Structure 1
């Protein structure tokens, strides 16, 4: 059995994709999405990347509706459906066949009540489930009330279905996550960008028409995000890929080794606080001068302006015209205060 612990990005994407999909049962859809993420992590670490495919990878990453498909994965040319449940009785052979008789393999994932951990219990061939159900009906009669058969072969036996060429530990090597502020390595005047997508290592991204040798990271620049219809700083980083895709905001793809975390990450429009204050007020960055930032406090904007959201490029000028005080601080003394 294998334990999968979803992080904040995974949980947000699983939930938002369920909303976008228009699921009748939002909880069931979200949990099903988490189950697919759990199996995807297993595949990445234990199966050859060229011999499995996740049907819903892009839909999940960008929180888009899934295209219709009768199965979730293809592994060694077998169709695989992932079944996720808190109720282990859902993993009885007859129950599995009733819900999904057509795929080659069913993977069984159990989740905790609060969805903070999922366990890959095992897998089974559909034809084996059929045989077990038929055998039970013909020869076994009623099962003992306290002893019900559950379908499950150990997860590590799944790679036995394919050739003995597994490349272990294929998880991404890059250190970035959606929402990180990055700059291009070696550029002394590089603009700060926002990480939108961290592409899986098996994706053959291209750059200037050439296939990229290394893991790819897609970023957007704050001024382009500022031109969008919404205040992107109030959108959870897990949903930025969905937002950029919906609004056709241009993304730029870099090899992950060509990026580094920005030493000066703030840009106009960012929500910040001065954390060494005992009860810091929320502020908005108006201008940036590398080592220093000028901010305006949000409660002043709320008090003085009819619409307290101002385009970041105009914020400093609007404050001057309205007589709203701006304050300068060392950038190192400030911290992000996310508002999503």
Structure 2
């Protein structure tokens, strides 16, 4: 058995994809998505990457509706469906067959009530399940009152279905996550970008028509995001890929080794606080000085002043914030970038 602990990005994507899918039961669909994420992690750890495929990878990564498919994965040429449940009786052979008789293999995932951990219990061939059910019906009569048979072969036996190959860890080496601020490595004039999605290693075959040697990261630039219909800074980073896809916001692909974290990550429109205050007020960045060696290169205004003068629902493009504040007589303040901290609003 294997334990999978979804992070915040996984949980947000699993839920938002269920909402976009229009599922009748959002909870059930979200948990099913988490089960698929758990099985994908197992495959990445233990199975040759060229011999398995996740049918819903792009849909969950970008929180888009899934195209219809009768199974979740193809592993060594077998159709695999992932069943996720809190009720372990769902993994009795007869129950598994009743719900999914057509796939080659069923993988079973149990989840905790609060969905912070899922356990991959095992897997079984559908043909074996049919045999177990028919045998029990023919010869066993009623099962023991306090003991029910659950179907499960150990997860690590799944690789026995494939050829005898070395199973290398194919976990991404990429250190970045959606929402991270990055710049092009070694470029002193590079603009700050936002990581939108991190592609799995096997998806990084080409960028700009050329083969990429490394793991790809798709980024968007804040000025392009600012031109979208919503305030992207109030969207959870897990949903940025969905937002950009829906709004046709252009993404740029970089090899992760060509990116680095910027010394000064702030851009106009960012929500910030001055963390050394006991009860800091929320502020928004108005300007970032072009010369990085300027003293107090970040100019901010406090949100309570913006709301007082421009209204609570003020909708000002970040590029116009500074001039609007000047016109409205809203006082601004300047700090060095290391005096401020992001205060995310999602």
TM-score, normalised by the number of residues in structure 2: 0.97
Partner in structure 1 of residue 175 of structure 2: 175
* Per-residue deviation, residues 88-123 of structure 1 (Å, max 9, x unmatched): 000000000000000000000000000000000000
Q: CA RMSD in A?
A: 0.8
Does residue 131 (structure 1) correspond to residue 131 (structure 2)? The answer is yes
Partner in structure 2 of residue 151 of structure 1: 151
Aligned with 2:333 (options 317, 320, 327): 327
Q: Which segments of 5 or more consecutive residues in structure 2 lack a partner in the other structure?
A: none
Kindly state the Cα deviation for residue 168 of structure 1 after the two structures are TM-superposed.
2.2
Question: For the residues of structure 2 that align with 1:305 and 1:255, how far apart are their CA atoms?
Answer: 42
Kindly state the Cα deviation for residue 131 of structure 1 after the two structures are TM-superposed.
0.3
Partner in structure 2 of residue 280 of structure 1: 280
- Secondary structure (helix, strand or coil) at the match of 2:123 reads strand
Kindly state the Cα deviation for residue 229 of structure 1 after the two structures are TM-superposed.
0.4
Question: For the residues of structure 1 that align with 2:208 and 2:149, how far apart are their CA atoms?
Answer: 55
Partner in structure 1 of residue 258 of structure 2: 258
Does residue 68 (structure 1) correspond to residue 68 (structure 2)? The answer is yes
Partner in structure 1 of residue 4 of structure 2: 4
- Secondary structure (helix, strand or coil) at the match of 1:101 reads coil
* Per-residue deviation, residues 168-203 of structure 1 (Å, max 9, x unmatched): 211000100000000001111000000001000111
Q: Which segments of 5 or more consecutive residues in structure 1 lack a partner in the other structure?
A: none
TM-score, normalised by the number of residues in structure 1: 0.99
Question: For the residues of structure 2 that align with 1:82 and 1:125, how far apart are their CA atoms?
Answer: 12
Partner in structure 1 of residue 161 of structure 2: 161
8 Å CA contact retained: 1:159, 1:166? no
* Per-residue deviation, residues 187-242 of structure 1 (Å, max 9, x unmatched): 11000000001000111342231111111000000000000000000000000000
Across the two proteins, how many residue pairs are aligned to each other? 340
Does residue 337 (structure 1) correspond to residue 343 (structure 2)? The answer is yes
8 Å CA contact retained: 1:46, 1:166? no
Aligned with 1:310 (options 310, 316, 324): 316
Question: For the residues of structure 2 that align with 1:181 and 1:74, how far apart are their CA atoms?
Answer: 35
Partner in structure 2 of residue 293 of structure 1: 298
